Amino acid sequence: MPTAIRLLQLNNVQLVGRLTRDPELRFTTSGVPVCRFDMAVNRNFKDKTGEWKEDATFITVVVWREAGQRCGEKLKKGSPVYVEGRLKSKNWETKDGCGPGGPGGGRRGGRPMMRRKVCRFCAEKIAEVDYKAIPILRGFLTARGKMLGGRTTGNCARHQRQLTQGIKRSRMLALLPYTGE
């Protein structure tokens, strides 16, 4: 065993992006506000051919107490947001929330929250799923051509319904293979 060294522990993240949906403001049984929202952070990069590409990362953010209350009241889908906080496995919790108004102070860890996937179509503001958009539809099929369920895809009910219909239509037009089952 190496000599015990006091190791600096650091877990600090800063993110700038936009909300992909309206925030959810809830209260614990003891009345503590807790706001949860999903944000998308875009990154631009050059691919092998030198062409600029955009790539988005989706992150769920949890903000407690006063800062959470403010987020729940002031933010909405599409709002730009700067988040500083710590990374929690499958979760982010902010330390000082969003916007001006100062730090809300360090938080107790909080209980783990259900991770919510972001509906890809909502995130990209696609109102109607296009049944001719084969590369997109294909992304929701398994290698064997079976359709993935809403729980797997993270799509909202409305878009999942449209997707099911879109895939059916594409199959009828023989743009996509039927499942082997």
Binding site for Zn ion (CB under 5 A): 119, 121-122, 156, 159
Long-range contacts of range 112-117, CB-CB < 8 Å, 24 or more positions apart?
A: 113/36, 113/60, 113/62, 115/60, 115/90, 115/91, 116/36, 116/38, 116/60, 116/154, 117/153, 117/154
CB of 130 to Zn ion, least distance (A): 14
Nearer of residues 94 and 155 to Zn ion, judged by Cβ: 155
CB of 135 to Zn ion, least distance (A): 18
Nearer of residues 70 and 159 to Zn ion, judged by Cβ: 159
Pull the structure tokens for residue 134: 């084969």
Is residue 109 a contact partner of residue 141, using CB atoms and an 8 Å limit? no
Pull the structure tokens for residue 70: 């403010």
CB of 131 to Zn ion, least distance (A): 16
CB of 140 to Zn ion, least distance (A): 13
Rounded-to-integer distance, Cα 55 and Cα 43, Å: 5
Nearer of residues 67 and 122 to Zn ion, judged by Cβ: 122
Nearer of residues 104 and 154 to Zn ion, judged by Cβ: 154
